[in-house]
Structure 1
Amino acid sequence: MTGPFARFEWLIAWRYLRARRTEGGVSVMTWISLIGIMLAVAALIITMAVRAGFRAEFVDTILGANAHVTLYNSSIVTETGQITRVIDDYAEKAEAVRAVPGVVRAAPLVKGQVMANNQSYNIGVQVFGIALEDLKGIPRIADANTGQGDIARFDEGIALGAGVATDLGVGIGGRIRLISPNGVRTAMGTSPRVKAYEVVYIFSAGRYDIDHTRVYMPFAEAQSYFNREGLADELEIMVENPELVDELNADLMKAGGERTLLWTWRDASGSFLRALDIEDTVMFVLMAVLVLIASLNIISGLVMLVKNKGRDIGILRTMGLTEGSVLRVFFICGALVGLIGTLLGVVLGCLFAVYFDTILAFVNSATGGEVWDASVRGIYRLPAKLMLGDVLAAVALSLGLSFVITLFPARRAARMNPVEALRYE
């Protein structure tokens, strides 16, 4: 009495898989199913890796160039009837916020929208007034590998996004004019404020919208330029763990005072990230359907194999081979096709994901650079990020479908009547 999946069952299954077509061996359909499973598993792994890479790059550009939490005041009406929400005690509030556990940095900001001009070029930009030390604490902005110029000279001029510099046709050492409609207040009204600044630093944050709209100005100069003497518009807060930023809301509200309002990075990008989650699920389901279709081809291959091996099955049964042994022989045949196809798919998918940047660069250059448009998609590159969980999910899905589907033709072979199989032999 032998146990299930005995050595002779593996030997018979392996012999059937190696047999030539003329000997009634593996059919073309079996090879098609193997290749189909390989390509489907590879496509699933590549898709999940690209989706994970896009999400990681998108989130990194958000967290690396923007505040994790923005603290500002609710609006009030002044004695003159103006509505304002500026922060007059920004230094004290910043100090209180820095004392909150989990907060890395709290920087007062002055913000405003102006027009930037260089010769005949004009674009609208958003100016951030910030201190030099706080600017150095923004990873994507103060990155020496992507930045140009000397950030240490920030107090002597302004810092531009790479897109702004390109649109204005200006480089390090050049001068641009900033034009604000809310300028000097006179008896005749408010006249536009126009002032020239030297470009001392050019940064690339990795996001198209930031690089093409953002300008950094020294905090004191921004206060003067935007008529915010002794005031700040908001506090830019960076935390240790941005994923758990919501857990700090209560402490930040307490540190900010009664008029405090918060706007986290999740509030700003939450809807987009939720859309990405939905797309990830949909893409996984679609790719899983491809794996299912490829696995179904195993049925066709095994049915043809069972038909070709009908005489062998009858002989084996008359020699004492049980139905269970026959079932296991053909289950091994189908399972090996699924297993080999899955392993090849994992190798192909992982190699494609590892060299995805090179492959995308080649395709991008071959098509004239229109495959990935940063102005539409926001980020400049599409990385692929291999995650063990995604690979294991693809393997489990492929093997599970292959094993389950293999049972149907294997069961048919096991229930074949040996007398009928040998009647015409």
Structure 2
Amino acid sequence: MFLSSFERTIARRYILPGRGEAFIALVAGISLVAVMLGVAALVIVMSVMNGFRADLMDKIVGLNGHAVIQAYGGRLDDWQGLVRQLEKTPGITRATPLIEQPLLATFNGRVEAIIARGNTQADIARMAEKKVAGSFKDIQPGASEVAIGSRLAENLGVQVGDTITVINPAGRTTPFGTVPREIGYRVAAIFEVGVYDYDNAFVVMPIPDAQTLLLTGDTIGMIEVMTKDPDTVGQTLAPIKQALNGRAVVTDWKTLNASLFQALAVERVTMFVVLSIIVLVAVFNILSSLIMLVRAKTRDIAILRTMGATRGSMVRIFVTIGFVIGAVGTVIGLGLGLVFLHFRQNVVDAVQWMTGQNLWDPSIRFLTELPSRVDPVEIGGICGMSLLLSFLATLYPALKAASTDPVQVLRYE
């Protein structure tokens, strides 16, 4: 909207509080603050929700792959040929054999439920970036060395160099019954994936060691698959799924974590709608402040009309006033939201310190830190919504000012 110098002067004069107009200025200031807080809340919450979903997906998918092929009965024979077939399938970037089995681990009288995970040497080397202590280079087939999650290490009181005992209840059958299989493993490394359930349970070892522990011979439990595009994993694996019908089940990451990601999607939409109401309330404050301003300036408007100001000029003046309040609130709110996101973990730590409450329990939240991911398109949509609502709120007061009849107002002056 382009304003003439006259219209800009009048708009500037009405935006700044005059004598006897402190109440109108107060309402306008409240409107600005309300828009600012609404936009900031939307930016913070939506970015945190985006970060939560993205971090969960990166860490869950990064550890478990985009899809898992699991044999009926838990044992996949002739898996080498299947791996080669998968690697030749268009759209698949990696196929990795994997063993996972829930077992028990003990150390100094402490017992914890674990998930023994047999990985290839390449996968174990990739986990080195998650290392907290120790070295993944020492984890070799036959060396009886393992890596464990950081939370599991805390629960067992284990440090690098200690030896834990892994118990397989399904041991060897003897004339006196089944004897559990117990094998000692030296802890060569401690890792932290960032997902509580994984850090609290995983014990990673080479596949041959896992096969020896579980007495499975040269078989594996599953194959994890990585694809070029996680969103099209179903179409990519469709021919493999058909070929393995009756032998194994193919489950993609969407199915494995369907309830979690659906809950996040519902919560994300709900939070957006609820927080948008804050911006809507702020817009109604802009509407009320402009209505009061029009009523207070009725005589001024009538005089301007008699001096040649057009109805269009009145509309542009009052639309500009309301829109400036909304725009300033939006810009400040955006800045406040981005600053909060930058120092989000410091804010959480400070609130926890002041209240003495654990606001971010990893056992409940899955992730160890408050995540955030700013989506420029979404931020643009939030700002656009705020500006559009601010503009719409100015139309009625602006049209009311433009319809002022100077003859009726000045008749008794």
Scaled to the shorter chain, the TM-score interval is over 0.9
CA pair 359-416 structure 1, distance change in 2 beyond 3 A: same
* Map of 1:290 onto structure 2: 278
Give me the whole-angstrom Cα distance separating, in 2, the residues matched to 1:95 and 1:163: 36
Q: CA shift at 1:297, angstroms?
A: 0.7
Which stretch of structure 1 is more off in the superposition, 150-159 or 373-382? 150-159
| Distance of 2:5 and 2:234 partners within structure 1 | 58
Q: For residue 125 of structure 1, what is the amino acid of its counterpart? A: I
Which of the numbers 164, 185, 191 marks the counterpart of 1:203?
A: 191
- State the one-letter code of the partner of 1:134: D
Is residue 241 from structure 1 mapped to residue 212 from structure 2 by the alignment? no
- Percent sequence identity is 35
2:84 to 67, 86, 95: 95
1:350 corresponds to which of 334, 338, 341: 338
Task: Indicate which of 157, 160, 164 corresponds to 1:172.
Answer: 160
Task: Determine helix, strand or coil for the equivalent of 2:20.
Answer: helix
Once residues 191 and 39 of structure 2 are traced to their aligned partners in structure 1, the CA distance between those partners, rounded to angstroms, is: 40
Instruction: Give the one of 112, 116, 120 matched to 1:127.
Output: 116
Does the alignment pair 1:147 with 2:135? no
Counterpart among 193, 215, 240 of residue 252 in structure 1: 240
Correspondence for 2:313 among 322, 325, 341: 325
Within 2, Cα distance between the matches of 1:319 and 1:262? 79
Deviation at 1:420, TM superposition (A): 2.6
What letter is aligned with 1:36?
A
- Two-structure CA RMSD over aligned residues (Å): 2.1
* TM-score in terms of structure 1 length: 0.91
Whether 1:400 aligns to 2:401 is no
CA contact (8 A) 1:46 1:350 kept: yes
Question: Deviation of residue 23 (structure 1)?
Answer: 6.4
Distance of 1:65 and 1:295 partners within structure 2:
46
| Structure 2 stretches lacking a partner, 5+ long | none
Deviations 1:288-326 (A, max 9, x none): 111010010112211221122111111111122222222
Deviation at 1:4, TM superposition (A): 6.8
Q: In 2, distance between residues paired with 1:154 and 1:256? A: 33
Matched, 1:305 2:293: yes
2:119 partner amino acid: I
SS in structure 2 at match of 1:95: helix
Residue 61 of structure 2 corresponds to 63
Q: Distance in 2 between matches of 1:135 and 1:237?
A: 16
Q: Which of the numbers 201, 213, 223 marks the counterpart of 1:213?
A: 201
Q: Deviations over 1:375-395 (max 9, x none)?
A: 111110112221111211111
Per-residue deviation, residues 141-161 of structure 1 (Å, max 9, x unmatched): 3315x4321111112211111
Q: Counterparts of 1:274-285 in structure 2 under 5 Å?
A: 274-285=262-273
Asked if structure 1 preserves the Cα contact closer than 8 Å seen for 2:67 and 2:224, the reply is yes
Aligned to 1:382: 370
Q: Which is further off, 253-262 or 103-112?
A: 253-262
Give, in whole Å, the separation in 2 of the partners of 1:23 and 1:188: 95
Q: Secondary structure of the residue that 2:160 maps to in structure 1?
A: coil
Q: Which residue of 1 aligns with 2:410?
A: 422
Tell me the distance in 1 between the aligned counterparts of 2:119 and 2:28.
66
The CA deviation at 1:171 is 0.9
Partner SS for 1:5: coil
Residue aligning to 1:107: 96
Amino acid of the structure 2 residue aligned with 1:142 = A
Runs of 4+ in 1 over 6 A off after TM superposition: none
Question: How much has 1:209 moved relative to structure 2?
Answer: 0.5
Residues 23-73 of structure 1: per-residue CA shift (max 9 Å, x gap): 689532111111111111111111111111111111111122223211122
Q: Give the letter aligned to residue 138 of structure 2.
A: R
- SS of 1:27 mapped into structure 2: helix
CA contact (8 A) 1:291 1:398 kept: yes
Q: Which runs of 5+ in 1 are unaligned?
A: 75-83
Whether the aligned pair in 1 keeps the contact of 2:71 and 2:248 (CA below 8 Å) is: yes
Residue of structure 2 aligned with 1:315, choices 303, 307, 310: 303
Structure 1's 21 and 370: CA in aligned 2 closer, same or farther, altered over 3 A?
Answer: farther
Amino acid at match of 1:108: P
- Alpha-carbon distance in structure 2 between the residues aligned to 1:43 and 1:134: 40
**Structure 1 residues 288 and 41, CA, compared in 2 at 3 Å: closer, same or farther?**
same
Partner SS, residue 55 of structure 1: helix
Q: Deviations over 1:147-198 (max 9, x none)?
A: 3211111122111111111111111110111111110122343211112111
Contact residue 18 and residue 25 of structure 1 kept, 8 A: no
Higher mean displacement: 202-211 or 9-18: 9-18
- Classify the secondary structure of the residue corresponding to 1:142: helix
The match for 1:338 among 322, 326, 330 is 326
CA contact (8 A) 2:17 2:25 kept: no
* Equivalence for 1:16: 14
Alignment partners' CA distance in 2, 1:240 and 1:47:
30
What amino acid maps onto 1:133 in structure 2?
Answer: A
1:206-230: CA deviation from partner (whole Å, max 9, x where unpaired): 1111111111122112212211012
Cα distance in 2 between the residues matched to 1:95 and 1:23: 79
Equivalent in the alignment of 1:79: none
How many Å apart are 1:255 and its aligned residue?
Answer: 6.5
Look up the equivalent residue of 1:143 and give its one-letter code: E
Q: Aligned pairs, how many? A: 410
CA apart distance, 1:257? 7.1
Moved more, 386-395 or 19-28: 19-28
SS at match of 1:302: helix
